Amino acid sequence: MALTDLAELLSNLSVRLDPERYVWASVSVVPEGRSPVVTVEESEGVTVVLREDDARALDLPHEFPSARITLEVHSSLEAVGLTAVFARVLADEGISANVVAGFHHDHVFVPWGRRAAALAALERLEAASRGS
């Protein structure tokens, strides 16, 4: 069941670092034969987040090499405050956070070179929320 209580969400974050390296690109249509992990339709085009290897194979101009950290807690789309809390923790470390909310989990894309620091900051948040 999806959680809405902020204290319960924070104490059950269970962060997981995806080993893949992702990049961001703007395209007119989603490239055929590739599976972006994120697509967002905007008036200027379609933003896709995909594995860097896929972008290179397509010779697709891209930017923001990033790591995806998934918050394994099943957060409700109506939960209030979770994004604000973890975004503040990352901001205090000087780490940008690009957040995508899925139906089951939140996914935070952070600069590739800061992935270990971001993961550690989120693990500290979880531990503090559990009272450890």
Q: Are 52 and 21 within 8 A, CB to CB? A: yes
Give the pLDDT score at 59: 93
Q: Are 115 and 67 within 8 A, CB to CB? A: yes
Report the range of poorest mean pLDDT among 23-37, 61-75, 77-91: 23-37
Please tell me which residue, 97 or 32, carries the higher pLDDT value: 97
Mean pLDDT score, 6-29: 95
Report CA-CA distances (Å) from 32 to 27, 46, 62, 63. Answer: 12, 13, 17, 20
pLDDT digits (tens, 9 = 90+) for 51-67: 999 999 999 999 999 99
Q: Are 1 and 74 within 8 A, CB to CB? A: yes
Tell me the domains of the chain and their CATH numbers.
6-130 (3.30.2130.10)
Q: Are 66 and 24 within 8 A, CB to CB? A: yes
CA distance linking residue 107 with residue 72, whole number of Å = 9
| Helix residue spans in the chain (DSSP H) | 6-11, 52-57, 82-92, 115-130
pLDDT digits (tens, 9 = 90+) for 87-110: 999 999 999 999 999 999 999 999
